[in-house]
């Protein structure tokens, strides 16, 4: 992950925030290996919170972070898989309890087999337990068991964690503001993703299948040292582009169709999230270009507005306004923009939100509302701007040449002190650039 000092500094900041809120201990489970079928597992991906805090990249176990460690101690306790010569021959290196202490800055480490008993010891001091309920049933039950065991011992002087608080209010607030080393990872993810999208435009020709375009994209991710896609790659040609969560299937790309690609490469646990829509033939029809220009104008207006202090809702409103003006110009809606915005009829063609946070998770952590109001952007936030226009194939109210097309354009925007920086600006976007890339 990152240098050990970076994770140590993050933990110190989290501990300081915990102390401001009354202290206690934060319990973060590591990700487990997930079964795919029979005795096969999905490729391992560490839990983002756990990885952000510890930098420890092995499955199973947990981290316990004490708000108030003794002088000279880090306050980090790790529960890890123990060294096991036999298992390491089959599955690879394990840091073990020694490595968790020497290489990862833990005060102490214990094998996972002792986790429950050791957690009980650590949590017998009372105080807040920062633990995210409702994420893993197995972990929820473990925490309940520990609390029950401690309660049964209260007459011996032990205390019970109280209250149980969501670590998100501390951890996710910090993850929301990206540090320079995180922005560097996002830049690498963006670079790899730009190459992948250009490959898709180049190879997404008539006769190609969606899965072939997907394979070009994911080849580009991996070839450049990325982990692979940060989320399920969408390659949707023709009417498939009107299905918002369509994955790459086996449909054939046909001349005259638009192909929508929503794909982002993950690099060092940070992911890009980019959507482009290109003409399979290499050339937009007149009607397609008009519709494309509507989405592009909305997206550019949204990006232009990104700066510290602007709310997430304000971005959405700017984008919706532009889209609705365009929908009227295209003959999809009638009347005046303010009325169509007020009655929500545009949602037939644009039904999703414009932005989400981006980082280690594609829909990254961080609340969108603060004190009941839309959150204001701050320097270091990374947000997507992704307007779309989707016309159902059977929409008899729409001009025939627009039926069955889906267009979305999405970039990853870093909020800077001065305004913003488009991290994914290298991915061709103007219709001329896109056409050029398609025919190269
Ligand atoms: Mn997105």
| pLDDT value at 1 more than 90 | no
User: What's the gap in Å between 36 CA and the centre of ligand 1?
Assistant: 26
Alpha-carbon gap, residue 258 to 102, rounded angstroms: 54
| pLDDT value at 389 more than 90 | yes
- The whole-number pLDDT of residue 192 equals 98
User: What's the gap in Å between 229 CA and the centre of ligand 1?
Assistant: 13
User: What's the gap in Å between 408 CA and the centre of ligand 1?
Assistant: 10
Q: Calculate helix-pair angle for 431-438, 180-203, nearest 10 degrees.
A: 60
Q: Are 346 and 327 in contact (CB under 8 A)?
A: yes
C-alpha atoms less than 13 angstroms from C-alpha of 280 in its C-beta half-sphere: 24
Order of all β-strands in the sheet with 265-267: 228-229, 265-267, 270-271
Residue that is written with structure tokens 């490959």 in the block: 199
| pLDDT value at 299 more than 90 | yes
**Kind and range of the H or E element at 239?**
none
Instruction: Dump pLDDT digits (tens) for 105-137.
Output: 999 999 999 999 999 999 999 899 999 999 999
User: What's the gap in Å between 359 CA and the centre of ligand 1?
Assistant: 11
Instruction: Dump pLDDT digits (tens) for 138-197.
Output: 999 999 999 999 999 999 999 999 999 999 999 999 999 999 999 999 999 999 999 999
**Least confident window among 87-101, 200-214, 353-367:** 87-101
User: What's the gap in Å between 244 CA and the centre of ligand 1?
Assistant: 11
User: 4-174 domain in CATH 3.40.350.10?
Assistant: yes
Task: Centre a 10 Å sphere on the Cβ of residue 292 and count the other Cβ atoms it contains.
Answer: 23
Please list the active-site residues.
Answer: 39, 245, 262, 273, 352, 356, 363, 386, 390, 408, 410
What's phi and psi for 421, nearest 5 deg?
-135, 130
User: What's the gap in Å between 52 CA and the centre of ligand 1?
Assistant: 21
C-alpha atoms less than 13 angstroms from C-alpha of 131 in its C-beta half-sphere: 29
Alpha-carbon gap, residue 438 to 377, rounded angstroms: 35
Q: Are 438 and 202 in contact (CB under 8 A)?
A: yes
- The whole-number pLDDT of residue 440 equals 78
As a whole number, mean pLDDT of residues 376-392 equals 98
Order of all β-strands in the sheet with 25-29: 108-111, 76-80, 62-66, 25-29, 129-130, 164-165
Fold assignment, 177-438: Creatine Amidinohydrolase (3.90.230)
| pLDDT value at 248 more than 90 | no
Beta strand extents in 331-381 (DSSP E only): 369-370, 373-374
Q: Are 6 and 180 in contact (CB under 8 A)?
A: no
Identify the band that residue 221 occupies on the pLDDT scale cut at 50, 70 and 90: very high
Instruction: Return the domain boundaries, the chain.
Output: 4-174, 177-438
Alpha-carbon gap, residue 352 to 116, rounded angstroms: 43
| pLDDT value at 339 more than 90 | yes
The model's pTM: 0.95
| pLDDT value at 390 more than 90 | yes
pLDDT over 90 percentage in the chain = 98
């Amino acid at each position: 992950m990152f240098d050990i000092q970076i994770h140590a500094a993050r933990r110190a900041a989290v501990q300081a925030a915990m102390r401001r809120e009354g202290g206690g201990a934060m319990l973060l489970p590591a990700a487990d290996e997930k079964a795919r079928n029979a005795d096969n597992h999905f490729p391992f991906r560490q839990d983002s919170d756990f990885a952000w805090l510890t930098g420890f990249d092995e499955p199973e176990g947990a981290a316990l972070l004490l708000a108030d460690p003794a002088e000279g101690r880090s306050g980090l306790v790790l529960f890890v898989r123990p060294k096991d010569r036999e298992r390491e021959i089959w599955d690879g290196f394990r840091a073990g309890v020694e490595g968790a202490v020497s290489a990862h800055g833990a005060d102490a480490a214990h094998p996972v087999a002792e986790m429950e008993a050791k957690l009980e010891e650590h949590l017998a001091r009372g105080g807040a337990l920062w633990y995210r309920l409702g994420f893993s049933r197995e972990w929820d039950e473990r925490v309940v068991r520990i609390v029950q065991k401690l309660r049964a011992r209260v007459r011996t002087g032990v205390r019970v964690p109280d209250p149980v608080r969501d670590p998100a209010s501390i951890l996710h607030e910090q993850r929301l503001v990206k540090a320079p080393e995180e922005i560097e990872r996002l830049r690498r993810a963006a670079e790899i993703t730009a190459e992948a999208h250009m490959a898709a435009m180049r190879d997404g020709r008539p006769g190609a299948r969606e899965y072939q375009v997907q394979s070009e994209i994911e080849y580009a991710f991996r070839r450049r040292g990325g982990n692979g896609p940060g989320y399920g790659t969408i390659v949707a040609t023709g009417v498939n582009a009107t299905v918002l969560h369509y994955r790459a299937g086996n449909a054939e790309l046909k001349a005259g169709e638009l192909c929508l690609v929503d794909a982002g490469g993950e690099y060092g646990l940070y992911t890009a999230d980019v959507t482009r829509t290109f003409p399979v033939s290499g050339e937009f029809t007149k009607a397609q270009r008009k519709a494309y220009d509507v989405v592009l104008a909305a997206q550019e207006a949204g990006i232009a507005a990104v700066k510290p202090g602007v709310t997430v809702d304000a971005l959405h409103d700017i984008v919706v306004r532009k889209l609705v003006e365009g929908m009227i110009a295209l003959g999809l809606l009638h009347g005046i923009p303010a009325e169509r915005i007020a009655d929500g009829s545009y949602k037939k063609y644009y039904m999703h939100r414009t932005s989400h946070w981006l980082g280690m998770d594609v829909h990254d952590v961080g609340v969108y509302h603060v004190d009941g109001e839309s959150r204001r952007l701050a320097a270091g936030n990374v947000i997507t701007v992704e307007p779309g226009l989707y016309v159902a194939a059977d929409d008899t109210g729409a001009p025939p040449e627009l039926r069955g097309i889906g267009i979305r354009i999405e970039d990853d925007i870093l909020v800077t002190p001065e305004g913003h920086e488009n991290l994914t600006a290298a991915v061709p976007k103007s219709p001329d650039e896109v056409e050029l890339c398609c025919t190269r």
